[in-house]
């Protein structure tokens, strides 16, 4: 593709991102200082249309980028920016104290990202197929109530309160810890077979009845550890975009379902993924773009953070913010893993 055509495509994308208006040949010619006449631009635009990079809302409007046009722009044309040092400083300051649970950190990072970009932010909790159950704790909360805490080597912590039918005795505590260390601790979370729960419980003899809720809860927690949760922030930001005026419900409802999206995020744990429109695979997102950047824990890809917005999103300005946030998140999560 000729250099001029590239410049034209770049201009149209930039202009449409900035204003939301189609760009016409005369406007572009003027933007180039009149060095090329509008007729020439028209010829080029016509070819760009034929190649599928541009489309026309209607005959007498200018051109706007097609999804293929955005793709070419992202891959070859867009400017590279960095976020300012003071901004970097501000962001890392806001996050550096959230070094407890990954979930809190990610949710805070998501808020910042949503504010920064004016889009909705999303992230997945860390997920590592190799992660093992590092620790199981049972904390008495009441005479018949305990809290079960499970810690994975990925740093993820899950806890849940569980009520049983009788008083929590030393015997129950001991039995629980025995079961936990025999069948759960040091196992890969993915390998723990939920079907085995029955046999484990059965082996407890007369204590089986009392222990069942505890073992079931423990098993549910280990399952929860093998699944990435989706965290969403700033969804309402999306309502400010014209493009979502008519299908806001579809999109928001899809977002709130969580699971399909979290699968999508888990499948794209690269340093940078830009998914434009129909590249997202889900019909509900065919008018949206996703920008994702993975974070690492101890050098291992563990999850992603990113944003969702209309396809007409300011890729070049927002990509650096997302990359930066994922770097910060990587740093904080890796550091808390030093225990």
Per CB under 7 A, residues contacting DNA are 4, 22, 24-27, 36-40, 42-43, 45-46, 49, 56, 58-63
Q: Tell me the window of 82-90, 145-153, 194-202, 275-283 that interacts with a second copy (CB under 8 A).
A: 145-153
Nearer Cβ to DNA (63/158): 63
Which of 35, 143, 170, 242 touches a second copy by CB under 8 A? 143
Q: What is the dihedral of CA 185, 187, 188, 191, to 10 degrees?
A: -120
4 binds, among a second copy, DNA, none (CB under 5 to 8 A by kind): DNA
303 binds, among a second copy, DNA, none (CB under 5 to 8 A by kind): none
Nearer Cβ to a second copy (196/256): 256
Within residues 210-239, the interface with a second copy by CB under 8 A covers: 234-236, 239
Helix (H, G, I), strand (E, B) or coil at 60: coil
Nearer Cβ to DNA (61/139): 61
Least Å from the CB of residue 17 to DNA: 17
DSSP summary character for residue 119: S
Is 137 a binding residue for a second copy by CB under 8 A? The answer is yes
Which of 47, 55, 87, 101 touches a second copy by CB under 8 A? 101
45 binds, among DNA, a second copy, none (CB under 5 to 8 A by kind): DNA
Cα–Cα dist 114/157, whole Å? 25
Helix (H, G, I), strand (E, B) or coil at 258: coil
Starting at the earlier edge strand, list the strands of the sheet with 133-140.
Answer: 133-140, 145-152, 157-163
248 binds, among DNA, a second copy, none (CB under 5 to 8 A by kind): a second copy
Nearer Cβ to DNA (37/194): 37
Q: In sequence order, what are the beta bridge partners of 140?
A: 146
Axis crossing angle, helix 259-267 with helix 248-257, rounded to the nearest 10: 70
Is 181 a binding residue for a second copy by CB under 8 A? The answer is no
Distances (CA, A) of 59 to 28, 30, 62, 104: 17, 21, 8, 50
108 binds, among DNA, a second copy, none (CB under 5 to 8 A by kind): none
- In 118-207, where does DSSP find H-type helix? 170-183, 196-202
Nearer Cβ to a second copy (3/338): 338
| Residue 296: its H or E element | strand 288-297
Cα–Cα dist 33/44, whole Å? 17
Half-sphere exposure of 317 (CA within 13 A, CB side): 11
DSSP summary character for residue 9: H
Is 50 a binding residue for a second copy by CB under 8 A? The answer is no
DSSP summary character for residue 190: G
Please give the residue ranges that form the binding site for a second copy (CB under 8 A). Answer: 99-101, 104, 135, 137, 139-145, 147, 149, 151, 157, 159-163, 234-236, 239-240, 248-249, 252-253, 255-256, 336, 338-339
């Amino acid at each position: 593709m000729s250099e001029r055509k590239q410049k034209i495509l770049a201009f149209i994308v930039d202009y449409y991102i900035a204003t939301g208006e189609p760009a016409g040949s005369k406007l572009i010619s003027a933007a180039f200082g009149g060095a090329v006449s509008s007729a020439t631009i028209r010829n080029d635009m016509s070819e760009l249309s034929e190649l599928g990079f541009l489309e026309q809302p209607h005959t007498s409007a200018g051109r706007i980028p097609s999804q293929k046009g955005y793709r070419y722009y992202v891959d070859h044309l867009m400017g590279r920016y960095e976020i300012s040092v003071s901004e970097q400083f501000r962001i890392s300051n806001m996050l550096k104290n959230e070094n407890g649970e990954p979930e809190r950190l990610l949710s805070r990072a998501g808020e910042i990202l949503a504010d920064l970009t004016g889009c909705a932010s999303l992230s997945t909790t860390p997920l590592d197929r190799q992660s093992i159950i590092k620790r199981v704790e049972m904390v008495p909360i009441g005479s018949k109530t305990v809290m079960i805490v499970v810690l994975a080597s990925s740093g993820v912590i899950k806890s849940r309160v569980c009520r049983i039918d009788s008083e929590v005795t030393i015997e129950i505590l001991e039995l629980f810890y025995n079961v936990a260390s025999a069948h759960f601790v040091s196992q890969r979370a993915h390998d723990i077979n939920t079907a085995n729960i029955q046999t484990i419980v059965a082996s407890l003899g007369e204590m089986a009845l009392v222990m069942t809720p505890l073992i079931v809860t423990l098993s549910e927690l280990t399952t929860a550890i093998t699944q990435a949760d989706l965290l969403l922030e700033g969804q309402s930001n999306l309502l400010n975009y014209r493009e979502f005026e008519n299908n806001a419900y579809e999109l928001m409802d899809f977002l709130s379902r969580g699971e399909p999206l979290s699968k999508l995020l888990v499948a794209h744990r690269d340093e940078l993924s830009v998914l434009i429109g129909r590249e997202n695979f889900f019909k509900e997102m065919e008018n949206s773009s996703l920008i994702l950047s993975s974070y690492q824990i101890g050098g291992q890809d563990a999850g992603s953070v990113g944003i969702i917005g209309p396809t007409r999103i300011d890729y070049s300005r927002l990509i650096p913010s997302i990359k930066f946030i994922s770097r910060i998140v990587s740093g904080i999560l890796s550091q808390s893993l030093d225990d």
